Structure formats: structure tokens, C-alpha cells
Amino acid sequence: MNRNPAVLAMDLGTNTFRWLWRDKSAASVRRGREVIGLGRGLAENGQINESEIAVAEQVLNEWRPGNRVIPPAQLVLAAGTHALRVAANRSAVTERLGRALGSPISIIEPEREASLTFRGAATSVQPGVQRWAVLDIGGGSTELAAGTGQECDFRISIPIGVVTHSAESDEPLSASVARVGEVVERALDDVYNVSPSGMFENLQLERLASNCGTSSALALRNSGQEEYHREALDGARIGVAWLVDFVAEHGGRPATGWDDVPGVGRSRGQLIGPGIGILLTMLQAAGVGSWTNTESGLLEGLADELLDSLPDNQTGKAP
């Protein structure tokens, strides 16, 4: 009998693939990530491109549990989000990726994604706070989940993301922020018949958190550090006024002009403007003076759910 079994959770996102390996005692935790850009072709042709599929297959083959990258795990759950939900060729892609990983790919619906993100973020946000929400800005969709304590009672998903609404190479930051902010307002009205301010008025939040690459990049810039350190950025509070000043300072910088900026760089240059557009729209609508950056979210929620379902003597793959 394995008295300390382990689980492996994977978040196969529109832009980034991430994994979290954790044993049941929580004595050992390992993480990894790789930027794939799986959803780059969605806006153009509604499909996932062959070039990105090939990269994803190679990465997932290397990530097979028990190979040199990731230790063995008794339960494995690889969750596909927006790109794998909406792509016209999603069935063929998920089958290929499942073969590469050696484990089936599970497509999770937006509402479940939001709830799991809330669960995963709770440990770094909730202590001392009652009513709160977490905003997860992804590559193809944005989820907002709210609740009291660790109980999620509100969740939405809008089909707006930093990859599917990425900036053109010469689009300046200020233009990206304004463009995507308007798209968010229209999407909320179209999907939920509500304005951003009307939505937050009903939620009555004490705190708003964000778990996404945009928030992490901004937390790094706000800290003045040159390199990413998860522990230093998890739970960091960043002022909305600082973000407004950041946009004003860098407003003329084109999407290809971020190579020298730690936390952004070339890989996030076309994504930072759209990400800020979504984040700032939500922050200003919420009427909060700051937000909490959390490095925990969907991946941690998935792992927690797996651990809850794993007796010490259970082996196999998650359904």
C-alpha cells in the first residue's frame, strides 16, 4: 500500500501549459510550466494550428509521469480550458494530446474552471477576509468567481482573453488597454446583460484578487525585483493608482517594445496590454483601491480536488 500517494494536475491553457505534482502529505510539491500558445490560430480560423499541436505533443510526452521531468502519480488530471473547449478540431487535438501524455484530456466547463480557481486561490487570499472574488485572465477567456470564505456562490466567464485579443506588433500599450476594456464591457452586456459596475455593485466585495500572468508580471514590476519568485509575489497587494500610472508611463510603448522589461519581455509583449485592459476595467468597476496578486488558482484547485478523492491505497487515473 502506498501510504503517501501523489497526484498530478495539469492546466492546458490557451497560452501556457502548467503542471503541479503534490503528495498527499503536502511534504513535497513540484511545479512546471511551458508557453505553448495553443490558441494562436483561433481568432483567424477557429482551429488549433498544427504547429502548436506538435509543440504541445512534444511537451506532454516529456511530462509523462514517471519520466525524467515529473515523478510518478497515482491520479492524473489534465484539464483543457478555452482553446480546447471552442476549437473546431478539439476532438482530434485532445485525442492526440492524450496519447502524448498517456492520460486522457478532460475539457472543463467555464463555470467549473471559475469555481476551481476560487478554491485554489482561497488559501492565499481568504484569511481575514469574508466576501472576496478572484479574477482569472486567461489566453482565451476570463473567469470571475466570488464567495464568502471558501464557499463560491458566484461565477461568470466571458470569451475575452489575452491571446485571442492580443495586440498587433505596433499597437501601443494605451491603445491595447482601451480597446480591450471596451470589448470587456460589450461582452458582459452581451452575455450577462450587465455592466461591469452593475455586476460589482451586487457582489459587495471586501477584496478582489487576480490569478494570471498579467497580474504576476505587474506584481513583479511593482516589487522592483528583476526575477520571478513565487513566494515573494503570492499575496502581494498592488494599488490601482500605481497601475494607472504604469499605463501612463508606458502608454506609447508598442507590443514589440518590452524585451528589456523584466516580467514582460518578448513572450508577453503582445499580451500585457490586453491583460491590463481586462484587469483595469474590472478594478475600476469594482471601486477598489488595490488588488491582491495570488499565484494560486485553477491548478491548485484541481490538485486539491484530486487529493480529496484519493484514499491512501488508490491508484489509477482521474475520470
Residue with cell 484514499: 311
Using an 8 Å Cβ cutoff, are 293 and 234 in contact? yes
Report how far residue 15's alpha carbon sits from residue 22's, in angstroms, rounded to the nearest whole number. Answer: 23
What pLDDT, on the 0 to 100 scale, is given for residue 127?
62
The yes-or-no verdict on residue 317 having pLDDT over 50 is no
Backbone angles phi, psi at 262, to 5 degrees: -60, 140
Share of the chain above pLDDT 70, in %: 95
| H/E element, 63 | none
Collect all residues with Cβ–Cβ distance below 8 Å to 308 and sequence separation of at least 6.
Answer: none
- pLDDT of 116-149, one tens digit each? 999 999 877 756 778 999 999 999 999 999 999 8
Type of residue found at 2: N
Q: How far apart are CA 180 and CA 166, in angstroms?
A: 9
Contacts of 139 (CB under 8 A, 6+ apart): 13, 14, 15, 16, 37, 38, 39, 82, 83, 161, 162, 163, 164
CB atoms within 10 A of CB 287: 12
Packing angle, helices 265-286 and 240-250, rounded to 10:
130
Taking only the tens place, the pLDDT of each residue in 108-120 is 999 999 999 999 9
> What one-character-per-residue DSSP string does 100-127 give?
HHTSPEEEPPHHHHHHHHHHHHHHHH-T
pLDDT tier at 315, thresholds 50, 70, 90: very low
Q: Is the pLDDT of residue 218 over 90?
A: yes
**247 exposure class (CB count in 10 Å sphere: 0-12, 13-18, 19+):** middle
Name every residue whose Cβ is closer than 8 Å to that of residue 229 and which is 6 or more positions away in sequence: none
Helices (H), the chain: 42-45, 50-62, 82-86, 90-101, 110-125, 173-192, 196-203, 213-223, 230-233, 240-250, 265-286, 298-308
